[in-house]
Chain A
């Protein structure tokens, strides 16, 4: 029983990180109907930015979060205005946007190989090995901090979407862009803003990842696929969907150690994805997917 509780807490902590990682991908897909295949590349690039800020400028990764998020927001807006804007939207634009953003990912990855080589890096702070105790089990301080920051980020985003005029405009554009134009919403501006916010979230996920894992320029592909699994599991309609998707994935991965060898746990998410796509193609929450 004690071990089950310990694993469950680990799974919840992991789910927090997963949610912040998936939210950016889900937001961009929900509003623009574009699968941002460069999402994983952005997470990797952000992990390196966090590493550079820490090793060169001695900036603590957690304090670097605002800087990194602003940088990635600007990168996202620029990517929208320079590239994504020209893509056909929706079903018609599926292949073009996948190819373009996959290309962006390859470019980012190869730039990272050039700048940083393929060696594994990690951000090791003075408190990297510190731990805190929850219900008698000890957990790494970083995991707990990452969980808390993820929760805060998702909550802030949710408040922004539900309480502010701009957030409501984002939701309105998601559902009906024609009506949005009629009431005076600059739809192109909302698209650029959304791409910026989604990319800033990838930036956040990258910083958080840099405190937990070692990374190299190939880092991010697993994160992209897991984000994808979470979105398919939970649907795009709500923060609740994302949270549930993240929990299902993290619990499945962590409790899989009882049934499969540990080197196979990474495959659990993808098995889950295939099963859900076969059994319930609309996701666990069915109709609650944003149009």
Chain B
């Protein structure tokens, strides 16, 4: 479904990705793990069209999307729940969600999409008129996930969904990710909480300094001695 090949990305003179390559098949949950600054977020930003690509190719459902403007991704069926939520704080919860289905193809399904996300997050239904910026971190993460779903994506990407959240909320977030995966949504998950990420994922990639150093089924990575030593301190 998604294929990233030989991707190079620069921030000014600094090279953030060196030949990044990965693949996500339909219905899979794939996770990208690695240390801070390894290039995970950059990879997601490149796929979302927020970051210019210097070299390499990104194909989605067989078509190259590298040269297309960032705002067309949503229409194609790619959605990102960005790191740090990135909501519109002085807009209401409902407005945040409505803008999630801004793309023409999604706008037609506004009501049923709203129904779906309110079913997933009943708390949001009671808070539609509240300003997004006045909610707690956990609630904001729910809004961000709901907004990401409003465009009816076929590929949903999460960037550090557990960052800065209380453990109870982290458990809820991962429960949501599991539920979406069960319902057949294809998911690409970037997460510093390597253990939790590998537990929900089918496959995983380990990223170091801008490229993949290890790949395989999530269960194998989780039991890999090197990974356990480097990332889990075991």
Residue ranges of A at the interface with B (Cβ–Cβ < 8 Å): 165, 168-169, 171-172, 175-176, 178-187, 237, 290
Contacts and interface: CB of A to CB of B under 8 A. Distances in A.
Interface string B72-112: 11110001101000111111000100111111001100000
Contacts of A176: 86-88
A181 B90 CA distance: 18
8 contacts: A169-B99, A171-B90, A179-B86, A181-B48, A182-B48, A182-B73, A183-B102, A290-B90
Given A172-B91, A184-B75, A237-B90, A178 B82 contact: yes
Contact of A182 (B69, B79, B101): B79
A185 B80 CA distance: 14
Contacts of A175: 88-91
Contacts of B72: 184
Contact of B82 (A165, A179, A290): A179
A185 B82 CA distance: 16
Chain A CB within 10 A, most for which of B80, B102, B147? B102
A181 B72 CA distance: 8
Contacts of A169: 99, 102
Given A175-B90, A176-B86, 10 more contacts: A165-B99, A168-B98, A169-B102, A172-B99, A181-B50, A181-B70, A182-B50, A182-B86, A183-B99, A184-B72
Nearest to B144: A179
A236 to B, nearest CB: 11
B151 interface: yes
Nearest to A171: B91
Contact of B151 (A168, A180, A183, A290): A183
B74 A184 contact: yes
Contacts of B82: 178-179, 182
B202 to A, nearest CB: 25
Given A179-B82, A237-B90, A184 B102 contact: yes
Contacts of B95: 168, 171
Contacts of B99: 165, 168-169, 172, 180, 183, 185
A119 B75 CA distance: 56
A168 B71 contact: no
Contacts of B39: none
B151 A184 contact: yes
Contact of A185 (B48, B71, B87): B71
B204 interface: no
A183 B147 contact: yes
